Chains A and B, each alone.
Chain A
Amino acid sequence: MSSITVDGQHNGSIEGHNHHHTDAGHHGPAKGISRWLFTTNHKDIGTLYLWLSFILFLVGGVMALAVRAELFKPGLQLLDPNLYNQLVTMHGLIMIFGAVMPAFTGLANWMIPLMIGAPDMALPRMNNWSFWILPFAFTILASTLFMDGGGPNFGWTFYAPLSTTYGPKSTDFFIFSVHLMGMSSIMGAINIIATIFNLRAPGMTMMKLPLFVWTWLITAFLLIAVMPVLAGAVTMMLMDRHFGTSFFDAGGGGDPVMFQHIFWFFGHPEVYIIILPSFGIISEIIPTFSRKRLFGYASMVYATASIAIVSFSVWAHHMFTTGLALGAQLYFMFATMIVAVPTGVKIFNWVATMFKGALSFETPMLFCLGFLVMFTCGGFSGLMLSIIPADFQYHDTYFVVAHFHYVLIPGAIFGAIAAVYYWLPKWCGHMYSETLGKIHFWLSAISLNLTFFPMHFLGLAGMPRRIPDYALQFADFNKIVSIGSFIFGAAQVLFLYIVIKTIRSGAPAPANPWNAKGLEWTVPSPAPYHTFSTPPMIPAETH
């Protein structure tokens, strides 16, 4: 990380843009640990978010590997069922709230000010706070594993009454940590909205914003809308557990299904919170390596906004087997099918961007192509899941596990990885090793399919999800799945090595290694500690 602490950048390598960072040498970062504790610098905070997310990605990954080791063959060998359930729960919570969301917030912190020509985020002190809540939130969450009675063991969806009346004692700590994560997300979202609305360089109109900025703006509104709903759900849980209410307790006149309605009213937009920033990243990278402008910029913006709006009205498609009234089932089926339309538009636009371009396949582009192919597959299984009668057979089986890992890993994780390879030269001033990057991609892509494709078969053959042991006819595919998962895990350790090697000893990076459009490439690499203290000139073509 030391390579990021470049102060006193006075280079003239970028024609005509020197005036953008005139005060870069006046105050650099503080020394030592206080730099990271008290920083209000968007780049430092972005770096903190990204490292936290990487660490939690590995922690959540190790949990998944423990689960896969147990499932390598039938019978209980490594984990008792309660520990198994705890690891399944923690894997979900840590990957969603700890790995994916902070990764994108970190990217937003680093890139949004650079992309819109702002000197920093609009609310720098709050920015520090929104980050520093997270290590404490995740320490609390992880500590529940060592508490009397064990940690949360009810799945990341924590359905009542399993999580309320029947939850372990540590559930209260889980509730508290979810509140903390929610606060952090809401503050992060407010900051992003305030930055985009107020700190755009003159001439950077809304319809000139890079798509990553657009998708994050829409994501931030989703966060502000639904994180309070999650907070409400866990607060009602707390009340049910300790203050004699019966929101979700049928014995007191409550309704366990109401919990699911509230949870998924948060949970479905959450799916788009996780994927939309990745859509933005893909929309930055594909045009760069196609040497061609993004196809249908305006329709991309509208499609993103439509997906966000529709995401509020499809939540009950997670609950088709709960016994919804026929009319409700029909409505949620139609509404869910509609999601395929704007999502399809986006896929078509990316393909049309590549079509008749001049493509090259550097590591960021490879991860984007992996995204395109496999996210589309995940989209197809999503479409299949929307057909309710068929969903009755898919629901809560490995088919669903396959579906959401196909959209989450190639979708969110590949998006984040592509972003790291794409912008790492800008962050640390060094190029990564293209050979190692390509090995990382191919290892990840192949092992990912080895892990998750057979899960479709397992689900269709009737294997329920979240079981620590299974019938013998599922044994062969489970073995393949487990082997794939360990290769995937190893590939991500290689990624860690590549990133550290790049920061320490990569070849020096030019200001614009990809010949890409966008303001972030007009500042030197590594980006000086302070950029755009005076607003830049907006090039005629920004996206």
Chain B
Amino acid sequence: MSLKPLQTGVAFVLAFLSGNVWADYTLNMTRGVTSISHDMYRLHMTIFWVCVVIGIAVFAVMFYAIIYHRHSIGAKAAHFHENTTVEIIWTIIPVLILVAMAVPATKVLIKMNDTTDSDLTIKVTGYQWRWEYEYMGKGVRFLSNLATPAEQIKNRDVKNPLYLLEVDKPLVVPIGKKIRFLTTASDVIHSWWVPALGIKKDAIPGSINEAWAKIEKVGIYRGQCAELCGVNHGFMPIVVDARTPEAFEEWLSQQAKKDAQS
């Protein structure tokens, strides 16, 4: 195993914990490391600013009335109570804004749903309360469990910085390859969510859902189960270890050998 991805991973974790990045991360959605997560972030910011502009307009009129049309400063009530033109205008303008928003959202949605031509398929199975990863056709399959000790959860030990976001065996993936994720579950519904990958897909017993990611940067990306799945729903994190294709292939062949032996 080369050291480079490890170093990058550590660097990412340090950056994540340092003030600057941390503040950015906590207040807003992550930009992520896939083109889909970038699209999601962009749509999120666009609709956010649309809301801000509409909000300023509506609240400006409202607070103008609150300040200048007060009974206590002698305001006299006007008598108008309808105006068809105005009512038509404020029905049509929102429709136009919505159409303008729907177009880019539709494009991204179509892109997200295109799971064809993938380089690698990984099946993700949710269990109460752990994830199983299977590299389809590669003979590699393992469980990924929470690695935070119970002592820390019960406040008997100091919590480490990755409290509740660490697993015993992370999902190792290559960067720059189109990875297709198939999600399913063996008991109740779970949801596999890694914000940086722009993927949240329910893992549903009896059916298989698809999602895809093409990761741009080497790094460690963390997520959690996003669908209430019982007592330990809060304790089944996801850790994705994205490596260079070469490092990934090396890891995969070692893993396949190990699995074949056992």
Q: What's the interface size class on A, roughly? A: 35 or more
Q: In the complex, what residues of A have CB within 8 A of residue B54's CB?
A: 380
Once the chains bind, are B98 and A340 in contact (CB under 8 Å)? yes
From known contacts A354-B66, A457-B27, infer whether A323 and B209 are also in contact, taking CB-CB under 8 Å: yes
* Contact digits for B77-110, partner A, Cβ 8 Å, 1 yes 0 no: 1111111001100110011001001100110111
Q: Does A82 contact B (CB under 8 A)?
A: yes
The CA of A35 and the CA of B110, in the complex, are separated in Å by: 63
B8 within 8 A of A: no
B147 proximity list for chain A (CB < 8 A): none
Once bound together, how far apart are the Cα atoms of A308 and B105, in whole Å? 26
B contact residues around A395 at 8 Å (CB): 200, 226
Please give, as numbers and ranges, the residues of chain A lying within 8 Å of B162 by CB-CB distance.
471
A472 surroundings in chain B (CB, below 8 A): 159, 161, 163
Asked if residues A357 and B205 are in contact (CB atoms below 8 Å), the reply is no
- Whether A390 and B62, one on each chain, are in contact in the complex, defined by CB atoms closer than 8 angstroms, is no
Bound-state CA distance A255–B205 (Å) is 8
Name the distance in Å between B93's Cβ and chain A's nearest Cβ: 9
Q: Give the residues from 223 to 248 in chain B that come closer than 8 angstroms, CB to CB, to chain A.
A: 223-235
Q: Tell me the complex Cα distance, A466–B229, Å.
A: 10
Contact between chains at A256 and B205 (CB < 8 Å): yes
Q: Which of A121-129, A344-352, A404-412 faces chain B? A: A344-352
B61 within 8 A of A: yes
Knowing A166-B188, A358-B75 are in contact, say whether A467-B81 is a contact too (CB < 8 A). no
Known: A292-B78, A292-B81, A330-B106. A323 touches B207 (CB 8 A): yes
Query: Do A356 and B69 contact each other (CB < 8 Å), given the known contacts A341-B98, A384-B47, A395-B200?
Result: yes
Closest B residue by C-beta to A468: B234
A37 an interface residue at 8 Å Cβ cutoff?
A: no
Tell me if B204 and A257 are in contact (CB < 8 A). yes
Return chain B residues, CB-CB under 8 Å to A341: 91, 94-95, 98
Q: Which residues of B sit under 8 angstroms from A333, Cβ to Cβ? A: 102, 105-106, 109
A342-380 vs B, Cβ < 8 Å mask (1 yes, 0 no): 001101100111111111100000000100110011001
Contact assessment for B226 and A323 in the assembled complex, using a CB-CB cutoff below 8 Å? no
Chain A: CB-nearest residue to B150:
A76
A59 in the interface (beta carbon within 8 A):
no
Stretch from A153-161, A199-207, A499-507 at the B interface: A153-161
A232 CB-CB contact with B under 8 Å: no
Closest residue of chain B to A461 (Cβ to Cβ) is B26
Residues of A within 8 A of B69 (CB): 290, 354-359
At the interface, yes or no: B11 with Cβ under 8 Å from chain A?
A: no
A interface secondary structure, majority = helix
Across the interface, do A462 and B224 meet the contact criterion of CB distance under 8 Å? yes
Interface stretch of the complex, out of A22-30, A105-113, A293-301, A432-440: A293-301
Min CB gap B193→A, angstroms:
7
Residue interface mask A72-84, B partner, CB < 8 A = 1: 0011110001100
> Is B10 part of the contact surface with A, judged by Cβ < 8 Å?
no
Q: Compute how far the CA of A341 lies from the CA of B97 in the bound complex, rounded to whole angstroms.
A: 10
A295 touches B59 (CB 8 A): no
Assembled-state Cα–Cα distance A338/B109 (Å): 18
Residue B206, interface by CB 8 Å: yes
Give the CA-CA distance A322 to B105 in the complex, in Å: 18
Nearest chain-B residue to A80 (Cβ)?
A: B231
Closest A residue to B183 using CB positions: A323
B152: chain A residues at CB < 8 Å are: 75
Q: Is the CB of A360 within 8 A of B39?
A: no
Residues in B with CB closer than 8 Å to A321 are: 191, 200-202, 226
B142 CB within 8 Å of chain A: no
Contact across chains for A357 and B75 when beta carbons are under 8 A apart: yes
| A7 interface hit (Cβ, 8 Å) | no
A157: nearest residue on chain B (CB-CB)? B228
A162 at the interface (CB under 8 A from B): yes
Q: Which A57-95 residues sit within 8 Å CB-CB of chain B?
A: 74-77, 81-82, 85
* Residue from A166, A251, A373, A472 with most neighbouring chain B CB atoms (10 Å): A472
Shortest Cβ-Cβ A-B pairs, 4 listed: A250-B206, A467-B234, A323-B209, A380-B51
Question: What are 11 A-B residue pairs whose CB atoms fall within 8 Å in the complex?
Answer: A155-B228, A166-B230, A290-B69, A292-B77, A295-B82, A296-B81, A297-B82, A356-B78, A380-B54, A384-B48, A471-B162
Binding site for A on B (CB under 8 A): 22, 25-30, 36-37, 39-40, 43-44, 47-48, 50-51, 54-55, 58-59, 61-62, 64-66, 69-72, 75-83, 86-87, 90-91, 94-95, 98, 101-102, 105-106, 108-110, 112-113, 128, 152-155, 159, 161-165, 187-189, 191, 193, 195, 198-202, 204-207, 209-210, 223-235
